[in-house]
């Protein structure tokens, strides 16, 4: 649990917190940050998932702890600074990755559907960021990475709430980058395209990437120039530079990790 994170010395180790670290892209980012030398707090509303990611990191020789956290629960988010300070003393890297999908035809969409998505994907990311602002500012080289989506700047059918949440995340990345620049906190976003994670999985365990429509449009017709979805580890590699101290001049940017999809017509 949380107490098993070893506190990082301010001079040599960076401390990172990843939301939604119990699965898919968040787990891959947490593991990549740990390999790069960060002590990582793996948070997720799925406690078992967060525990499993932290255990994998420790088994590989890294430093990690897990913390159950539903980012849509304001009272839980409010306890975050206290728990993080008690465990690590500071947070240098925040990765706002937790998110929910959900395709609903707009004709059947309710405001409850819309609010449920915005609550996690937008408000949850903002709440966690605001809660950890003092720690990020105190770092001197803080980094925030928001996991958005290419749906933040492209439209798609049946995705009104998801697309709106990711579009908002894209622009709040720019706003926050302006606000935190004087504190040395660099704020960027990733915009993944298709990624092979549980979010892309149907109830029967198959993925949309095995369907005829995906093969025809995205692979055979090269709508994705690289002709395949990404693996979560490939998204994590892109995250690493943006979160690292080696990144000293990239802020307010959104990096598409989409196999070239948004480079084409
Ligand atoms: N998979 C894709 O194709 C894809 C593409 C673009 C963007 N993304 C984004 O990447 C991020 C990660 O998605 P993924 O594909 O790894 O999906 P995933 O379903 O594998 O992982 C999402 C994780 O977020 C957690 N989570 C959901 N709601 C939460 C909440 N309220 N509080 C805390 N944790 C919560 C889940 O428990 C899960 O562990 C999401 O923001 C998603 O929108 C995914």
pLDDT at residue 7, rounded to an integer: 42
Q: Ligand 1 atom 36: the closest Cα is on which residue?
A: 20
pLDDT at residue 164, rounded to an integer: 98
Distance 199 CA to ligand 1 centre (A): 7
pLDDT at residue 9, rounded to an integer: 41
Q: Counting atoms of ligand 1 from 1, which one is nearest the CA of 230?
A: 3
The DSSP result for the chain, as a single string, is -GGGSPPPPTTT--EEEETTTTSHHHHHHHHHHHHTT-EEEEEESSHHHHHHHHHHHHHTT-EEEEEE--TT-HHHHHTHHHHHHHHTS--SEEEE---------GGG--HHHHHHHHIIIIIIHHHHHHHHHHHHHHHSS-EEEEE--GGGTS--TT-HHHHHHHHHHHHHHHHHHHHHGGGT-EEEEEEE-SB-SGGGB-TTS-BGGGSHHHIIIIIIT-SSTT-SPBPHHHHHHHHHHHHSTT--S--S-EEEESTTGGG--
Whether 209 is a known active-site residue: answer no
Pocket test for ligand 1, best of 18, 102, 197 (most atoms within 8 A of CB): 197
45 lines ligand 1 (CB under 6 A): yes
Pocket test for ligand 1, best of 17, 19, 25, 218 (most atoms within 8 A of CB): 25
pLDDT at residue 1, rounded to an integer: 40
Q: List, in order of start, the domains of the chain with CATH numbers.
A: 2-206+229-258 (3.40.50.720)
165 lines ligand 1 (CB under 6 A): no
Pocket test for ligand 1, best of 20, 125, 232 (most atoms within 8 A of CB): 20
124 lines ligand 1 (CB under 6 A): yes
Per-residue confidence in pLDDT tens, the chain, 265 aa: 443 444 444 456 899 999 999 999 999 999 999 999 999 999 999 999 999 999 999 999 999 999 999 999 999 999 999 998 777 878 999 999 999 998 899 999 999 999 999 999 999 999 999 999 999 999 999 999 999 999 999 999 999 999 999 999 999 999 999 999 999 999 999 999 999 999 999 989 899 999 999 999 999 999 999 999 999 999 999 999 999 999 999 999 999 999 999 999 8
């Amino acid at each position: 649990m949380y107490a098993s994170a070893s506190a990082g010395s301010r001079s040599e180790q960076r401390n990172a917190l990843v939301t939604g670290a119990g699965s898919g892209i968040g787990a891959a980012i947490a593991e990549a940050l740990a390999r790069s030398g960060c002590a990582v707090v793996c948070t997720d509303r799925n406690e078992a998932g967060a525990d499993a990611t932290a255990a994998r990191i420790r088994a590989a020789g890294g430093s990690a702890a897990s913390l159950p956290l539903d980012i849509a629960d304001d009272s839980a988010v409010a306890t975050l600074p206290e728990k993080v300070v008690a465990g690590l003393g500071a947070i240098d890297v925040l990765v706002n990755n937790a998110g929910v999908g959900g395709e609903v035809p707009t004709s059947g969409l309710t405001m409850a559907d819309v609010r449920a998505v915005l609550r996690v994907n937008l408000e949850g990311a903002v709440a966690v960021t605001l809660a950890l602002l003092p720690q990020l500012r105190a770092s001197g080289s803080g980094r925030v990475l928001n996991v958005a989506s290419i749906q933040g700047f492209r439209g798609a059918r049946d995705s009104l709430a998801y697309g709106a949440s990711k579009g908002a995340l894209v622009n709040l990345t720019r706003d926050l980058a302006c606000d935190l620049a004087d504190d040395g906190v660099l704020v960027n976003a990733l915009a993944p395209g298709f990624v092979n994670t549980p979010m892309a999985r149907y109830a029967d365990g198959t993925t949309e990437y095995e369907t005829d429509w995906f093969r025809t449009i995205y692979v055979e017709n090269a709508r994705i120039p690289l002709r395949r979805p990404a693996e979560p580890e490939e998204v994590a590699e892109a995250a690493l530079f943006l979160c690292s101290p080696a990144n000293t001049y990239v802020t307010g940017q959104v990096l598409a990790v989409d196999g070239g999809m948004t480079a084409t017509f």
